[in-house]
Each structure stands twice: as C-alpha cells, then as structure tokens.
Structure 1
Amino acid sequence: MKFGIVIPLKSKKISRDWAVTSAALEGTIRSIQNQTDQNFVVSVAGHDCPEFFKNMLNERFRFTKVDYDAPDRNAPNFKTQELINDKVLKIMTGLIAIKDEPLSWIYQLDSDDLIRNDFIEQINIVPPTDAIIVEGGYIYYQSAQRIIETNEMDQLCGSVVVVKPSTFSFPPSADLQYIHDLPWTKYRHMNIYKFFENNNQSYTRSSENLVTYLLATGDNFSDRWRTGLVSQIKAVMKPYLFGKKYLILLNLNFH
C-alpha cells in the first residue's frame, strides 16, 4: 500500500514570483524524497510544471496539467474566491491522477510546506483511525530565518490532514459540484474535523512536530489578506518577538 500525496500548484499567472514558487515546491519535494519510508506516490496538479520537476517525473512523481484558464488577479472583476476554486480543482485533479493506486493514506500538502523526514513512518504507526489531524509543527519565516514552534498547526496551515481513502469518494472529474465530497475542499483546515464527525468517522490528533509551514516567502496566499499597515507590521515583527533562529536540527529533519 502506498502513501498518496496531492500537491496543488499555483500558476505562473497568479504567482507573484514564479522562481520563488518553483523553489518552494522544490523544497517541498525534497522533504518527500528524504522520507525514511519510500513507499509513496506524489501527484502535483497545476497549469505550469517547473523545470526541475520535469526532470524527475516518473511513476512516483507525477504532474497533471489542468485544462481550465488560470485566475487573473489583474482582471477588473477578479475575486479572491477564484483562487480558492483554483486550488479546489487542482486538489481534485491530483486525486483523480492517483485514484487507481493501492493507497493506504492520502495527504494534501501545500506546495510551499515541508514534512519531517519520518512523516510517513509516523503516520503509519498511528493506531487505527479514519483520519489524522497534525497539531504540532513549526512556522518558518523564511525571510527572517526564524521559527516559531506551535501546537496549533491545524489552525494555521492547510497541510495537516491525512485520511484513509475509504473516508470519501474520488470525484469523477475536477468540478466544483464535488466540493462538498472531499474533506480538504468542504472545510477550511481549522474546521476539517467536522467532515469526519458528520460522517461518523474517527479521527486522531497528533502532537508530533511533523510539518513546517512556510511564511514570508514573498508568494504566500495569506499575504494577500494583509492589506492594512498595522497587520503588515505585526506580520513582520512576530518572528523577531516570538521566534527563534532557524535551527540546524530543524533543517536536517525537514530537508
């Protein structure tokens, strides 16, 4: 049985800096490559495939190009919901690409986050359950080279939910009509537990620091929400007030 990882990737059109977006994905992929358990398949879905990824495509690392137009945030009638819908459709596309694999778990990982090198191994030893919600991890402020440890990762980051394939039905196509059929698309990460509770499914919360959430890369989705000067200043100061210098140990465990 394989561990399935689905990664939705923003397009060049919506990316603030495609080089930054590509470099972030490269770090994410490297954290998967260095897993202690190598029985996995990675499904990246997007409009554009970074050059480095083109050179490593095989049965374990796959890219599926979506066939709809990318959102244009410079358009006069642009709405933020278009970004959310774009990610939803890419999650569906990534899932469809691996639906015929014998999967033990499925994990939606954002394209700029990192997983600890024993992430898959740790998930596989969790007592039987339908889903796992990761609460422990680190916020990494890349521009400041500082980290904040947190036990509320599920409130901050989308890369925190691992599920059994039996918890949902794979969508027959990438279409917004199926948005309520998948845990990652029906609820935001902080409320995703409701998907399992409403379907009488079990879930476990893990306190292991298994995920590193990258911020301040210059291309974060959350950056678009900070339009006020005060919120921008707080975001800049937070890693210096509450964070620690980036640790060598953390660097080794997440790369």
Structure 2
Amino acid sequence: MLIFCIPLRSKEVSKNWNKVSKLFNRTLESVYNQTNPDFRVFVACHQIPTLDRAYDDRVQFIIVNTKIPITYLDMMDDKDSKIYHCQNAARKYLIEQNCEGAYFMNVDSDDLISCKIADFVANKATKQVYTSRHGYIYFEGLTYMKKARRLERTCGSCFVIYLSVNQLPHNDQGFLLNNIDKCPFTPHHSDIWHKLINIKKWSHGFIPFATTIYIVNNVNVSNFANHQIGKNRRLEYRFELRRKISHYEKEFNINQNTYL
C-alpha cells in the first residue's frame, strides 16, 4: 500500500486563498489519479478548501488546531507538524487494517504526481527507500516544463519510503518534539538521503520514471522565502530539455489550460 501525506497551508497566511485552493485541487486530483487503487491520501489542514469533485474514503482530511504560523520558520514548523498528523492518522488506519506498515510519500500541496506510483509500489517495490530517477520543474504561466535530474535536491515530493507501524508517530506533536530521530521520514527532504541511506544504510532504489512535477509559484511556502528558486538551485536544471505540457496530460492529470 502507498500512503500520501499532504500538508496544506492555512487560509490566514495565504495571500490568495482561492489560488492556493485551486492548486491544491489540482494536486489532489493528480494523486487520486493512480492507476492502482491500493492507496490512501491524508491531508492535514486548518480548514478544508472547496473541492472541485467528490472523493471516496481513500481521501481523509485531518483538521488541526495548532497555532497559525506567521514567519517563514513558523510555516516550516507548521508543515512538519501537519505531516506528522498525517502519519499519526495513517498509523491508526494501518492498525485497524492489521497492516504491519506501508510505503509513504510526502507531497507538497501544489506539486503534481505521476499516476503510476501506486502501481510501482504494489508490484515492484522491494527496497526501503526510493527516489525519483528524474522529474520536471514547471514555472507557472509557461507552456512547457523543464526536465530536471536529482529533483530531490530541490523538491520534497520525490521520496517513497517504507515505514512500519512502530516507526510512525503515536502521540501527535509530542512525538515530533521528543522522538524526531526515531521517525526516519523527516519532512526535510535535504536530510533524507544522508540520514537513511548514508547513515542508517537503508536499502535504496530509483523509481524508473518521472514521479513529480515541481511547481514554482508565488504561493509555495519555500518560494515564500525565495529559498528554492535561487541562483544555485537554477543551475541544476537551467540547461535541461524543455518538454511541452501536452506530453504529460494523462500521466500527471494536467493540461496547460487548467490553473496554469
């Protein structure tokens, strides 16, 4: 089974809540578009946005009552906390289903995800950690995307990791504060490779297709601080081949006329 965890920023800190909601709807549809039905989606948020369509019980919203973030650091802490709320809810679900564990994928609320990931997990996954072989970066407003190698350096929506029930948080924020090193799926994607593969020596593999379209816009939390789109980050993909969006409409449930 594959479990997606999506943290959604609050309305109070959104410059344009309508745009945030539209981007989230696009993300949720791309996640839900999996070709294999063996997946669950947990979304942690302060308020549920208006949805463009109905979803079945594989999608669950978790309303949090934590403090509304103000600064960039507060926003990153809020994102971390919401991911752990998703994992906590996933733990309860897995116990109810008598499952020992599942593969997890954190997804930013504006990124787009391939429809083939759940099928890969169900039929080919044998390693503890997977990263995307490559992905795409889309600058909102253009009619093409750029192919990027090592997208996990820039985007957090690129890791699929197996976690047992015992490795998942069991008491919300207390687990996050007191046991951060015990739960291996840190939401800080820059740490995952070093922590799990280099130090813990977890088995690793690459997903042999593009898993993610990283969206660059003015509502992303990281972009809020101009963190992800600086000069050094651009060097990783500025010379890569451009791809028309139309080539990936089916795989990522996207087209250039939808919120782009």
* Aligned partner letter, 2:60: R
In 2, Cα distance between the equivalents of 1:246 and 1:210?
Answer: 17
8 Å CA contact 1:193, 1:203 repeated in 2: no
Give the structure 2 partner of residue 30 of structure 1.
Answer: 29
Is 1:92 matched with 2:84? Answer: yes
Cα separation, partners in 2 of 1:82 and 1:180, compared to 1, 3 Å: farther
Per mean C-alpha deviation after superposition, the further-off stretch among 22-31 and 123-132 is 123-132
Q: What is the CA distance between 1:192 and its match in structure 2?
A: 0.7
Give the structure 1 partner of residue 45 of structure 2.
Answer: 46
In 1, Cα distance between the equivalents of 2:230 and 2:154?
Answer: 16
Give the structure 1 partner of residue 61 of structure 2.
Answer: 63
Query: Any residues of structure 2 matched to 1:1-255 within 5 Å, and which?
Result: 2-52=1-51, 56=54, 58-72=56-70, 78=71, 80-99=72-91, 100-101=93-94, 102=99, 103-166=101-164, 169-175=167-173, 176-177=176-177, 178-185=179-186, 188-197=188-197, 198-216=199-217, 218-226=218-226, 244=242, 246-255=244-253
In 2, Cα distance between the equivalents of 1:5 and 1:212?
Answer: 16
In 1, Cα distance between the equivalents of 2:143 and 2:161?
Answer: 32
Q: What is the CA distance between 1:231 and its match in structure 2?
A: 5.4
Deviations 1:153-201 (A, max 9, x none): 1111000111112396111222131333333426x31331223233332
In 1, Cα distance between the equivalents of 2:89 and 2:147?
Answer: 34
In 2, Cα distance between the equivalents of 1:248 and 1:180?
Answer: 42
Per mean C-alpha deviation after superposition, the further-off stretch among 88-97 and 138-147 is 138-147
8 Å CA contact 1:3, 1:40 repeated in 2: yes
* Aligned partner letter, 2:210: N
8 Å CA contact 2:38, 2:122 repeated in 1: no
TM-score by length of 1: 0.83
In 2, Cα distance between the equivalents of 1:210 and 1:254?
Answer: 9
TM-score by length of 2: 0.81
Per mean C-alpha deviation after superposition, the further-off stretch among 43-52 and 177-186 is 177-186
In 2, Cα distance between the equivalents of 1:211 and 1:32?
Answer: 10
In 1, Cα distance between the equivalents of 2:183 and 2:20?
Answer: 26
Tell me the percent identity: 23
* Aligned partner letter, 2:203: S
Give the structure 2 partner of residue 75 of structure 1.
Answer: none
Q: Tell me, which stretches of 5 or more residues in structure 2 are unaligned?
A: 254-260
Paired residue secondary structure (1:56): coil
Paired residue secondary structure (2:223): helix
Q: What is the CA distance between 1:127 and its match in structure 2?
A: 4.9
Per mean C-alpha deviation after superposition, the further-off stretch among 5-14 and 99-108 is 99-108
In 2, Cα distance between the equivalents of 1:193 and 1:51?
Answer: 36
8 Å CA contact 2:138, 2:146 repeated in 1: yes
Deviations 1:201-253 (A, max 9, x none): 2121335211111112x2122322339xx959x97xx97x8663633121222
Q: What is the CA distance between 1:144 and its match in structure 2?
A: 2.1
* Aligned partner letter, 2:214: Y
Cα separation, partners in 2 of 1:134 and 1:84, compared to 1, 3 Å: same
8 Å CA contact 1:90, 1:174 repeated in 2: no
